[in-house]
């Protein structure tokens, strides 16, 4: 993944599916390119664009930029959802920047990305050994948890 962290509101972006279908939008988060898998899921909610929690210190766009995560906004999500529902999960690339490659080049890059089917991704991120998270402030409880993806600092 290659990234840049300038303001992204007006920078063009393209989501390219491995079957050649493209969806144009605007950069969200970092500018660059990233690859993964696009899936149809009914459990996804739209993220709030305006931070509303009293503890928030920046917007989602700012956080993604800070973390170097490439995203896209302004795409026709209904068309994308219908396409994935009918054709199934597939490799995807998001490309953003003022000098985007041609669609053929982007499609070739998407098709060169590794397939997710059969990939054991949990082995790459799973905890190998037990660990203790110390209490912040006064210790009030002892909690045991099976780490299946616990966030490091969930309050």
pLDDT score, position 155: 45
CATH number of domain containing 56: 3.50.30.20
Is the residue at 138 inside a domain? no
Is the residue at 139 inside a domain? no
Is the residue at 69 inside a domain? yes
Q: How many domains in the chain?
A: 1
Provide the domain limits for residue 43: 2-120
pLDDT at 5 over 50: no
Q: How far apart are CA 107 and CA 33, in angstroms?
A: 12
Is the residue at 129 inside a domain? no
Is the residue at 41 inside a domain? yes
Report the percentage of the chain scoring pLDDT > 70.
85
pLDDT digits (tens, 9 = 90+) for 126-145: 778 888 888 889 988 888 87
pLDDT score, position 8: 62
pLDDT score, position 50: 67
pLDDT score, position 41: 80
pLDDT at 104 over 60: yes
Is the residue at 80 inside a domain? yes
Is the residue at 34 inside a domain? yes
Across the chain, mean pLDDT equals 85
Is the residue at 50 inside a domain? yes
pLDDT score, position 88: 94
């Amino acid at each position: 993944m290659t990234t840049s962290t300038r303001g992204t509101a007006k920078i063009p972006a393209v989501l390219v599916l491995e079957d050649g279908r493209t969806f144009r939008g605007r950069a969200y988060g970092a500018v660059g390119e990233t690859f993964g898998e696009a899936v149809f899921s009914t459990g996804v909610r739209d993220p709030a664009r305006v931070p509303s929690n009293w503890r928030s210190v920046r917007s989602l766009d700012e956080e993604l930029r800070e973390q170097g995560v490439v995203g896209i906004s302004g795409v026709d999500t209904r068309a994308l959802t219908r396409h994935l529902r009918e054709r199934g999960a597939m490799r995807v690339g998001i490309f953003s920047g003022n000098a985007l490659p041609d669609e053929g080049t982007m499609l070739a890059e998407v098709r060169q990305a590794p397939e997710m089917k059969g990939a054991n991704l949990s082995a790459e991120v799973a905890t190998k050994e037990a660990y203790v998270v110390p209490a912040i402030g006064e210790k009030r409880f002892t909690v045991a948890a099976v780490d299946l993806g616990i966030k490091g600092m969930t309050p």
